[in-house]
Every structure is written in structure tokens, then in C-alpha cells.
């Protein structure tokens, strides 16, 4: 089991990240809340990982904090919630918001997540409430800062990358395109565009 990566960030294309650890590149999938916290390309990074094994693939999921990985592992234990849906949940909201929504029985907030219907939302609340009863919110779980530097790369390529990221998270291409087009500052990096789109959708 691969539990931790300590290396150099090579690529960051939501929801995928590539980390070089002593010459070996680890291709991971990460929720948007982790990607918001990642350093610039070429910088050192430490990620906590979870290896998901299925009949067709071995997928490595990477998280900025131990708390986020812990929540991911609790989510995939819920009936009907696989790694892909758990990733979408942790991309649509940070762990603090999810814990608060579950504790407050906020079904209407959870159904906004792509792939989460009313029955799934109710199941999440029922099965996760006891597990999150004593959850302590730490500083590493607080929302990431939105003060990111403006990218100087091509606007269209950033927007397209953001749309691809939303589609990978479960949104339909048309809805993803519409959400990105509504953002006033198209100069933002793809991760920032995705973050704003998720807040507005």
C-alpha cells in the first residue's frame, strides 16, 4: 500500500497530478481542495495517498491533508459511494462544509454534487453522522486561500482545462462549459476557474 508521496510536482491538470519521487512518476487523482493547496510546478510536495484496487485498474488518490484522506476513506465505505463519487464530493466542498452539512441534515446541499441524488444524500447523512460526530476541525481542513497568481498562459487553454476537469468530476460538458463561461476573469488558472465554477453551480 502506497500511503505517502514526498517528491517534486511535475504536472497539475485537475483532477490529475503527477509527482516525481526519486525518478519515478506517480500519477494520482486528487480532489479540487487538494489541488488548490498544491505548490507551483517543480516545487517539493508531500501528499497522503490511498490506493484503490479494482478489477480493471489500480488508482492512486492523493490528498493534501490526512484529514481529507480519512474522510475519503470513510466516504467509500458508504453503500453506493465509490472512489469517483467520493472525489466529486471532496471537490464540490471542503471537509469542513461536508461535516457541517451532514450534522445539520442538509440534504439539499448534498444533492448539488454531481452524482448525488436524494437517496444517496440521505444515505450519506445516515451512515456518516455517527462517524463524524466527534470529528475535530483542524487548521489543515480550513478552505484554501483564493489568492493565487494570475496565469499568463493562453486563456482558452486554461478554460478548456477547467472544463475538462469539471467533466472528469462528473459534470456534463455543456453544464461545465456554461459554468466556466460565466466567470468574469478568464485569466485565472484552471484550478481557480474550477473552484469558482463549483461555487456557482
The arithmetic mean of pLDDT across residues 16-38, rounded, is: 93
Sort strands 44-53 and 4-13 into parallel, antiparallel or unpaired.
Answer: antiparallel
pLDDT value, residue 201: 67
| Percent of the chain predicted with pLDDT > 70 | 89
Please write the tens of the pLDDT for every residue from 52-87. 888 888 899 999 999 899 999 999 999 889 898 999
Is the preceding omega at residue 91 within 30 degrees of 0, hence cis?
A: no
46 or 183, which is more confident? 46
Residue 115 has pLDDT above 60, yes or no: yes
Residue 136 banded pLDDT, cuts 50, 70, 90:
low
Phi, psi of 75 (to 5 degrees): -65, -45
154 or 158, which is more confident? 158
Residue 153 banded pLDDT, cuts 50, 70, 90:
very low
- Domains of the chain (ranges plus CATH)? 4-63 (2.40.50.140), 67-141 (1.10.150.20), 155-200 (1.10.8.10)
168 or 194, which is more confident? 194
Among 62, 68, 89, CA closest to 137: 68
Instruction: Output the nine-digit C-alpha cell for 185.
Output: 476573469
Query: What are residue 11's DSSP bridge partners?
Result: 18
Residue 146 banded pLDDT, cuts 50, 70, 90:
very low
154 or 28, which is more confident? 28
The arithmetic mean of pLDDT across residues 131-159, rounded, is: 54
Amino acid at each position: 500500500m502506497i500511503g505517502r508521496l514526498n517528491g517534486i510536482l511535475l504536472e497539475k491538470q485537475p483532477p490529475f497530478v503527477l509527482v516525481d519521487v526519486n525518478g519515478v512518476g506517480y500519477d494520482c487523482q486528487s480532489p479540487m481542495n487538494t489541488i488548490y493547496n498544491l505548490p507551483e510546478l517543480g516545487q517539493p510536495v508531500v501528499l497522503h495517498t490511498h490506493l484503490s484496487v479494482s478489477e480493471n485498474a489500480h488508482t492512486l488518490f492523493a490528498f493534501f491533508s490526512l484529514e481529507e484522506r480519512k474522510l475519503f476513506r470513510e466516504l467509500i465505505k458508504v453503500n453506493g459511494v465509490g472512489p469517483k463519487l467520493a472525489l466529486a464530493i471532496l471537490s464540490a466542498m471542503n471537509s469542513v462544509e461536508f461535516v457541517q452539512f451532514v450534522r445539520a441534515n442538509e440534504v439539499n446541499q448534498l444533492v448539488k454534487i454531481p452524482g448525488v441524488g436524494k437517496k444517496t444524500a440521505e444515505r450519506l447523512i445516515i451512515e456518516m453522522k455517527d462517524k463524524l460526530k466527534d470529528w475535530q476541525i483542524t487548521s489543515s481542513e480550513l478552505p484554501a486561500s483564493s489568492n493565487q497568481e494570475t496565469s499568463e498562459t493562453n486563456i482558452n487553454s486554461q478554460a478548456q482545462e477547467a472544463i475538462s476537469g469539471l467533466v472528469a468530476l462528473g459534470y456534463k460538458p455543456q453544464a461545465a462549459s456554461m459554468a466556466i463561461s460565466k466567470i468574469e476573469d478568464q485569466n485565472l488558472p484552471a484550478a481557480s476557474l474550477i473552484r469558482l465554477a463549483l461555487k456557482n453551480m
